[in-house]
Amino acid sequence: MYTGKKYFEEGLVTLIDTICIIFSMMIAGALRYGGTFASEKIAFAMVTSLVGYLAVRAIFPSDSSLSIRGYYEEALRVLRIHLLFFIVTVVFLYISHQGFEISRLMLGYFYCIDMVLMYLARLVLKMYLFKHYRMGNRSRRLLVLTDSEQVKDVIFSLRVNSSWDFRIVGAAVYDLDMTGMEVHGVPVVCGRDNLIDYARTHAVDEIFIRIDKKFPISMRNMVMELESMGVVVDVNIQIYDMDISVEKTLNQIGIYQVVTFGRKILTYQEQAMKRGLDILGGLAGMVILGIAAIFVAPAIKLESPGPVFFKQTRVGKNGRYFQLYKFRSMYQDAEERKKELMEKNEMNGLMFKIQDDPRVTKVGKFIRKTSIDELPQFWNVLKGDMSLVGTRPPTVDEYRQYKPEYKTRLSLMPGLTGVWQVSGRSKVTDFEEVMEMDVQYIDNWSLKNDIKIILQTVGVVVFGKGAV
């Protein structure tokens, strides 16, 4: 995972730098030649500079992450890159006897412009990553588990060397009750005895463990239980001595090298591919939603009073709350009447479904049968609350009744469709069976499988099998 993140960052930096080189050379060419359009000379200089830059990146790879480098360090890095690829370019031109093809004045303009532009572009990229992921609730929510002797040093180190892809949401102290205290602005939210319960009831993606002692048996059991909930566990390599038969990867949390345990740990490349598919599908779905709304919205309003869209709080990835949207298919008092109908529930476990639900309107029956009521969830997909394919997001009251092991079905983003939906929803009445399908999907995730489920969903919608 750490290697994947590094490649992801370096790929973005290389792309941004390449764009800067192209624009800088175009500006330098315009300054040098004025109104004279010397396209061949500019193109040759651009290609030469790009080759020189890529050669420097290959020969002198980055040894640190963009996300943890400061402004001064980034400025020195940009200056170093330009000095090195200036040397590489000069050597290339000398060996190839092509020096006369490039204006020295244009090169001077280029290096001055590109140093400033590349530095500013990298800062903008860094700010975007922090704002989009950390502030946008997309970053990994990290809980730190350590002992009372190290809690201050560990949290300080993680905050100073923080990355855009994780945010510290709390600390747990293993050997002393410090609950309610704050350490460098991070609240101590639990201790050893209630860590499992806290992870079950709160949005926690990952737990970082740092204890400079031989790993206790009770801690080993704790890691096993957290993993069974779908929570990723990072154990500092310094104390790593566990033999746990789950997926493991090398990672880095701040300055600490860790072994990461988890059910299914998606690489940054896999996350990017899944998100790319979500965006493409979400955009297409919004077009379909717009067309459907022209006909569905008036029908909903004419049959019963109330809003066109139904909004409900659901629980998403690792316990995050979000607002799920649907076309309203029930009367306005549906939630109040649900309690009266619980005894007729056909599902065994933490899900609710009954045939001929009296709360459903006539229009609602049609849009449910055709799955048109689900179309507004394409907006949830575009927002990043949901994915095209995943597990069904539970309601808040369902989530509060979860056993610890049930939370593993929330370790990936909830989906608009999934294995349960394409397997024939009306035939599945046991939550444990749904749980088994969800876990199997998570453990065997692949982009190919997501595409297969999407295609199967189209068939289910067209032929109306399994719709509720």
Full 3-state SS string of 161-206? CCCCCEEEEEEEECCCCCCCCEECCEEEEEECCCHHHHHHHCCCCE
pLDDT value of position 2: 47
pLDDT value of position 218: 67
Q: What is the mean pLDDT of each run of 10 residues along the chain (468 residues)?
A: 62 89 88 67 78 81 69 86 82 67 79 92 84 67 89 85 77 88 91 87 89 64 83 74 60 73 75 90 94 93 89 92 92 67 60 71 87 94 93 90 87 90 68 85 90 89 60
pLDDT value of position 349: 59
pLDDT value of position 245: 55
Q: What is the pTM of this model?
A: 0.69
pLDDT value of position 87: 84
pLDDT value of position 104: 77
CATH class of 140-262: alpha beta
Question: Domain segments of the chain: what residues?
Answer: 2-135, 140-262, 268-463
Contact 234, 206 (CB under 8 A): yes
pLDDT value of position 136: 56
pLDDT value of position 453: 93
pLDDT value of position 425: 56
pLDDT value of position 243: 56
Strand 166-173 and strand 186-191: the pairing is parallel
